[in-house]
Amino acid sequence: MSVLHRFRLRRRGGWAQSPVLWVMGVACLVEVCLHASRYRVPPPPRELDAPFYSSCQEPATDGPRENAAIVMLARNEEADKAARSVRSIDDKFNRWFQYPIVFLNDEPWTDDFVRQLNATTSAPTFFENVPKAQWTFPSWMDKDAARTSIKDQGDAGILYAGKETYHHMCRFFSGSFYTIEALKKYKWYWRLEPDVEFSCAITYDPFLEMARHKKIYGFTISLWEEKRTCPSLFREVSDWKAAQDIPDTTLWKASVDASWMPWPFRSLLSWFSHRDAAGDGWNLCHYWSNFEIADLDFFRGQKYQDLYQHLEHSGGFYYERWGDAAVHSLAVNMLAEPQQVHHFADFGYRHDWYYQCPANAPGGQLPESQTLNDAQSRWADEIPGGAGCRCDCDGRTNRNHASYCLHKLKAPNTADRPWSTWLLSFVF
C-alpha cells in the first residue's frame, strides 16, 4: 500500500479517531462548563423578596413617616402630563401619607405650572431648579466634539440620542441628582415621571417598609437596554469593578451571560460591545428607572460616586448615550446584596406603552374600609395568587412586555425560575 493511499485512509478515518483531538475537545467542553458555572445563580435557601403586603391595609394616616420625598423632573410645557401623574399618585397613595413632592426643572418655573400642580395635590410642594453646572457638558469636555457626536447618534437613529438635553438628563440622574441642595435633607426618594399612571391602591408606606426590611432599591419593571445606546458602558463598569477588586455578587452574576467560547479564544470577544475584558457579556437587563424608590445614601456613598466619576471622565454620557437606568442597574447589581433590592410586584404602574398590573388578592380588598371606599369603591376581579389592592387594571394580563429580564434580575432572590428564562439565556 502506497504512502499516499495510507494517508488518504487516515484522513478518511476521520479526525474523530484521533485521541488527541478527542482529549482537546473534552478539555474545551469541561473548561467552558466550569467557566459558565462561575456565573450560576444558585436558588436562595428561602424567598428573599416577598411583597411587603399581599392585600389591602388600613392606611396609617397618622403613623410615623420616613425622611422622604416624591421627586419629579419636568418642564413647564409638561404641566398637564405632570398633573396627571401627581393626581394618580395622590389618588392611589399620597392622599393618606402626604409626602412632600419636589419638582425639578433646568429652567425657571412658570406661574402657570406652579399654580396647576399646587391645585392637583394637597401634599407639600417645592419647585426647585437644577444647578446650571449639573445640566451641561463637563468643564473638561470638548463641547463641539460632543455636539458632533450627538448629531451623529441622532442621524444613526439611536433612541433619543440626537437630543442634547437628553444626554444632560441621563448624566444628571446618574450622578449629581443625589447631591443637589434641594434633596440634601432627604434620605429616601420616589422618582415620578410626567404622564405615568398608578392602577392599584398603595395602602402602606413603601418608604417605611423599605427601611424596615433594610432595602436600598425598589423597582416595578425591568427591560432590555437599547443596544446601540451604550456599547462601551459594561466594559467601563466591569473594568472599574476589577480595578477596585469588588467580588461578584449573585446580582452581578444575574446580569452576566457567560461566554461559551473556550479559552484562550474567549478574551477575543472583549473587542465586541457589551463585553468585559474576559469576553463575557452583559445581558442588557436593567431596572426601568422612571420608577424607583431608593435610599439616597446609597447613591451618595463613596463607592457609587467613585464609579460615577470614572464613568463621567470616560465621556460616554455624550459620545454615546448612556442611560441612567443602565448605570443605576449595573451599580446596584455590583454594590448591593440581593436581599437589598425589592420588586414592587403589588404596584400597578404604567409609563409610555409598558405596564405592570398585579391581580387583586382574593379576600384582601377590605370592602368594609370607609377610608378606602372614600377613595375607590370598585375594582377589578380578584384572582387567586394576586397581591394587588383594589387594582382597576385587568390582572389577567400581568404585564405587556417580555418577562425575561424580570426573572433574570429576580433570580438571586427567588427559587421561582421559569424554564424559558434558562433557555433564553443561550439566545441572548
3-state secondary structure of 428: coil
- Residues in Cβ contact with 131 at an 8 Å cutoff, skipping those fewer than 6 apart: 176, 180, 181
Per-residue pLDDT reduced to its tens digit, 352-405 = 989 999 999 999 999 999 999 999 999 999 999 999 999 999 999 889 888 999
3-state secondary structure of 7: helix
Task: State the Cα–Cα distance between residues 277 and 222, nearest whole angstrom.
Answer: 26
Residue 399: φ, ψ to 5°? -155, 160
H-helix or E-strand containing 80? helix 79-89
**Is residue 292 flagged as an active site residue?**
yes
CA 61-63-66 angle, to 5 degrees, is 110
Instruction: Please answer whether residues 212 and 131 qualify as being in contact, where contact means their C-beta atoms are separated by less than 8 angstroms.
Output: no
Cell 369603591 -> residue = 377
3-state secondary structure of 100: coil
Cα radius of gyration (the chain):
25
Task: Kindly state the cell numbers that stand for 268.
Answer: 477575543
Instruction: Please answer whether residues 187 and 295 qualify as being in contact, where contact means their C-beta atoms are separated by less than 8 angstroms.
Output: yes
Instruction: Please answer whether residues 161 and 317 qualify as being in contact, where contact means their C-beta atoms are separated by less than 8 angstroms.
Output: no
What is the structure's pLDDT at 427?
45
Enumerate the β-bridge partners of residue 343.
Answer: 219
The DSSP symbol for 291 reads S
Task: State the Cα–Cα distance between residues 177 and 425, nearest whole angstrom.
Answer: 34
Per-residue pLDDT reduced to its tens digit, 246-288 = 999 999 999 999 988 888 888 888 899 999 999 999 999 999 9
The whole model's pTM is what? 0.92
What is the structure's pLDDT at 4?
47
Q: How many CB atoms lie within 10 A of CB 307?
A: 24
What is the structure's pLDDT at 210?
98
Distance between the two ends of the chain, CA-based, in angstroms? Answer: 53
pLDDT at residue 172 is higher than 80 = yes
Rounded mean pLDDT, 55-79: 97
Over the chain, what is the mean pLDDT? 92
Task: State the Cα–Cα distance between residues 237 and 277, nearest whole angstrom.
Answer: 11
Per-residue pLDDT reduced to its tens digit, 277-333 = 999 999 999 999 999 999 999 999 999 999 999 999 999 999 999 999 999 999 999
Nearest-CA neighbor of 103 among 93, 81, 51?
81
Task: State the Cα–Cα distance between residues 308 and 298, nearest whole angstrom.
Answer: 13
Q: Which amino acid is at 255?
A: S
What is the structure's pLDDT at 428?
43
Q: Which amino acid is at 46?
A: R
pLDDT confidence band for 422 (50 / 70 / 90): low
What is the structure's pLDDT at 118?
98
**Of these residues, 292, 312, 368, 382, which one is catalytic?**
292
What is the structure's pLDDT at 81?
98
